[in-house]
Chains A and B, each alone.
Chain A
Amino acid sequence: MADRDVSAEPLRVSILSQGSYLIASIHTALDDGQLVRFQRDLIERIGAQRSLGVIIDVAALDVLDSFGSRTLRDIARMSRLRGAETVIVGIAPELAVSMVRLGLHLDLPTALDLEEGLAYLRSLTGTPMLP
């Protein structure tokens, strides 16, 4: 996997900036290499945009393996080190059930959807969306 150039592949995650928050939407299931690329890109963007919060939207995912959930947790930890809080949104009922069955503990803040995620970050950072 190390010698495969994932940066040449089409983007399966979009990272949008919304005020002082970053919104990352995962569009399809990611393999390990793509997850690593996503992690690197996102952490980079936090610094570049001086973001205070990150929302990762996983509504399109119907499975998440242990590597995926570990990556999400790592992203949250790294983001905090770079000054941004992370919230995971859009976990579908089926995904939630399969995750707890597999014993994957996210130990991350979660919210129902994007709107709830934004509300959560706002309550946490107290920053208005626009200057």
Chain B
Amino acid sequence: MTSTTPDGQAGAEATAGDDLLLPELVAHLRENRTQLRREWANRITDAHLLTSMTPQEVFSEATSVYDNYVGVLETGSVEALQDYARDLSERIIPRGVETNEVVGIVLLLRDVLARSLFEKYHKDFGLLNRVLDAYEPAANRIANTVAVSFVQERERIIRQQADAIRELSTPVLQVRERLLILPIIGVLDDQRADQLTEQLLGGIRRHRARVVVIDITGVPEITAEVANHLVQTVDASRLMGAGVIITGLSPEIAQTLVTIGVDLTKMNTVGDLQGGIEEAERLLGFRVTRVADEDA
């Protein structure tokens, strides 16, 4: 580094205060905004990222990210970027944008900007090094912030959906006085089986049920643990004074239950839901007749 070249002089200035480097950097990025932004958008397209978005959308989001990016470099505060990243994630997650795409585009921007810095300062290696020293930590922090915000937003959405599924998954319905039905649809895992027990026992108490029909027509298969859990649930219901009728056992489930040797003697099973409800009505002393038959 000599003081005879113009770049060297610039370097000497910067040496006087390295904290002036970032503002200089920001000014450079602002000056070349149009060109760098276009280059970035092109590289996103070339890398086949964000394919679920139109080129216009990519360009407009790219502009926002770019400006936020420069803003973070300038102020050193990632809060605005965090908010923006969360908002962006909320918009693009439903469209199927993956984590690797989001991380990918931020890393691309980092590369594009680093290239432009190389280009600008390549004549003075020492200065370039110091510029990169200032740039890299900030850039990495930005990449980190965006990726974490995206993943957090995704997790939030997943949690929200899981909650919704959990709430909907085990309805306890009263069909007659003292008679409840629980239609179960979908895979019955440990967690759902636990939840089923809780809902069922709570429902028995709330509705003062004496008979419960659990219909598992919609359950494709069952593990030994869940089968045992089901038997325990039947026992627990009985302790609370309610009899349980299980209906809709598929051939596969019947085979599983017999193979694993679940004690079926206490299980009251009926072929289908209709049969189960009829049996329950009989136990409760209801008799359902057609009006026409009664008249005749």
Q: Which residues does A use to contact B, with CB under 8 Å?
A: 88-89, 91-93, 95-97, 99-101, 105-106, 110-113, 116
Q: How far is the CA of A105 from the CA of B263 in the complex (A)?
A: 13
How many cross-chain pairs have Cβ atoms below 8 Å apart between A and B? 53
The answer to whether B201 touches A112, judged by C-beta atoms less than 8 angstroms apart, is no
A/B interface sample: 21 pairs, CB < 8 A: A91-B239, A91-B241, A93-B201, A93-B202, A93-B240, A96-B240, A99-B235, A99-B236, A100-B233, A100-B236, A101-B232, A110-B238, A110-B241, A111-B241, A112-B208, A112-B209, A112-B210, A113-B208, A116-B208, A116-B210, A116-B241
Instruction: List residues of chain B with CB within 8 A of the CB of A111.
Output: 241
Chain B interface, DSSP helix/strand/loop, else mixed: helix
Chain A interface, DSSP helix/strand/loop, else mixed: mixed
Q: How far is the CA of A95 from the CA of B240 in the complex (A)?
A: 9
The answer to whether B239 touches A100, judged by C-beta atoms less than 8 angstroms apart, is yes
Q: Which residues does B use to contact A, with CB under 8 Å?
A: 197-198, 201-202, 204-205, 208-210, 232-233, 235-242
For residue A88, which residue of chain B has the nearest CB?
B239
Q: How far is the CA of A91 from the CA of B238 in the complex (A)?
A: 10
CB distance from A42 to the nearest CB of B (A): 20
Q: How far is the CA of A116 from the CA of B209 in the complex (A)?
A: 10
Q: How far is the CA of A67 from the CA of B58 in the complex (A)?
A: 70
Instruction: List residues of chain B with CB within 8 A of the CB of A93.
Output: 198, 201-202, 204-205, 236, 240
For residue B208, which residue of chain A has the nearest CB?
A112
Contact among A88, A97, A113, A116 with B201 in the assembled complex (CB-CB below 8 Å): A97
CB distance from B154 to the nearest CB of A (A): 34
Q: How far is the CA of A125 from the CA of B198 in the complex (A)?
A: 34
Q: How far is the CA of A25 from the CA of B144 in the complex (A)?
A: 62
Instruction: List residues of chain A with CB within 8 A of the CB of B197.
Output: 97
The answer to whether B208 touches A100, judged by C-beta atoms less than 8 angstroms apart, is no
Contact among B198, B232, B233, B240 with A110 in the assembled complex (CB-CB below 8 Å): B240
Contact among A89, A97, A99, A100 with B241 in the assembled complex (CB-CB below 8 Å): A89
CB distance from B49 to the nearest CB of A (A): 50
Contact among B208, B209, B210, B239 with A96 in the assembled complex (CB-CB below 8 Å): B239
Instruction: List residues of chain A with CB within 8 A of the CB of B209.
Output: 112
Q: How far is the CA of A91 from the CA of B202 in the complex (A)?
A: 12
Instruction: List residues of chain A with CB within 8 A of the CB of B240.
Output: 91, 93, 96, 110, 112
Instruction: List residues of chain A with CB within 8 A of the CB of B205.
Output: 92-93, 112
